[in-house]
Amino acid sequence: MDISIVIPLYNEEESLPELTAWIRRVMIDHHFTYEIILVDDGSNDSSWRVIQELKQQHVEIIGIKFRRNYGKSAALNVGFNAAEGEVVITMDADLQDSPDEIPELYNRVKNQGADLVSGWKEKRFDPLTKTIPTKLFNAATRSMSGIYNLHDFNCGLKAYRKDVVKSIEVYGEMHRYIPVLAKWAGFRNIQEQVVQHYPRKYGTTKFGAGRFIKGFLDLLSIFFVGKFGKRPMHFFGTIGVLSFMIGFFITCYLIFDKLMSIANGTAYRNVTDQPLFYLSLVAILIGTQLFLTGFLAELLARSSSDRNKYHIEKII
Ligand code: UDP
Ligand code: MG
């Protein structure tokens, strides 16, 4: 099969018939063999019934339904597991992304060696309250991930080599960072393609302002896990030791200072009267705690089931 199109959806009943008909048109025009994997993320409108009806006339449709709403990342993950096409396309269900982009995305992966092609909505039809924070978010992700050629990490329209989606695991709200996950899994040919973007035709956006705070926290955890996930002690241990040493040297200085004063017979203050004393106390306590956190994290990392999971290629 050439293409699997994975579409996560939550309460998108009005868009689905139009979207699937449009995809079918494009697929037939270009003679692709394909499947459309519609992942219903626990919708409480009649999306699932619409999918069942569409399936009657359109055999390429595969429907998967969550019993409750788990989020876009979970929906993508399940869709990725089910996908069988050589190239996997993801797109939003709300008709903001155009199926007309699919042939060019496919071509880039199939014939130009791309592992992942991310859409870039150069001209966006979203409110300013969304586009400005998005710019900041993308700049932060670019500099932290080292993927400098992407303008828009979170575009729903993307194409992947099948290997890529089978090697990464999207969970929590990590769908914003799939290119980063792919890079860490060792897929380096990450490209971008300018795509058309349309205003939302039906329904409303499913992500509120909270997306930016959550997105930022996810950014921090993804980088922590990516960099230190397999060796947490290197992170906690380093700053723990540093903090401990600072406390230790201050303590030495305080003792030395007092002994010198006693020896010289000059006036001296109680150790507990000095701000430095409290600083050293805090530094030593924090240092020890970080160290212990490092040990605990290390134990967790050792017992995790994917501690020896590597992304490999093999010829036999
Ligand atoms: N979506 C989903 N589960 C959710 C929220 C959203 O599957 O919990 C789907 C939604 O139906 C749409 C896509 O994710 O197909 C993008 O959502 P939306 O268009 O609301 O996001 P925006 O375009 O505003 O960023
Ligand atoms: Mg949308």
Q: Over the stretch 14-39, which tens digit does the pLDDT of each residue have?
A: 999 999 999 999 999 999 999 999 99
pLDDT tens, 202-252?
Answer: 998 888 878 888 888 888 888 888 889 889 999 999 999 999 999 999 999
Q: Which residues line ligand 1 (CB under 6 A)?
A: 8-10, 12, 41, 69, 71-72, 75, 92-94, 96, 156, 205-207
- From residue 255, give the alpha-carbon distance in Å to each of 20, 274, 300: 77, 12, 39
Residues 201 and 169 placed together within one structural domain of the fold: yes
Residues 278 and 167 placed together within one structural domain of the fold: no
Atom number in ligand 1 closest to CA 205: 20
Number of domains in the chain: 2
Contact 26, 60 (CB under 8 A): no
| 249: containing domain | 232-303
For the ranges 53-57, 89-93, 307-311, the lowest mean pLDDT is seen at 307-311
**Chain-centre distance of CA 188, in angstroms?**
16
Evaluate if residue 306 carries a pLDDT over 80: no
Mark 101-114 as b/e (b = at least 16 C-beta within 10 Å): bbeebbbbbeeeeb
Residues 102 and 127 placed together within one structural domain of the fold: yes
pLDDT at 131: 82
Which of these three, 199, 228, 257, is where a domain ends?
Answer: 228
Q: What percent of the chain has pLDDT over 90?
A: 75
Torsional sign, CA 269, 272, 278, 283:
positive
- Which CATH number do you get for residue 27? 3.90.550.10
Residue of the CA atom closest to atom 16 of ligand 1: 92
Atom number in ligand 1 closest to CA 93: 15
Residue 74: count of CB within 10 angstroms of its CB: 21
pLDDT at 49: 97
Residue of the CA atom closest to atom 24 of ligand 1: 205
Q: Give the confidence band of 124 by pLDDT, cuts at 50, 70, 90.
A: confident
Residues 54 and 110 placed together within one structural domain of the fold: yes
pLDDT tens, 52-84?
Answer: 999 999 999 999 999 999 999 999 999 999 999
Evaluate if residue 102 carries a pLDDT over 80: yes
Only one residue has tokens 């393609």, namely 193
Residues 219 and 243 placed together within one structural domain of the fold: no
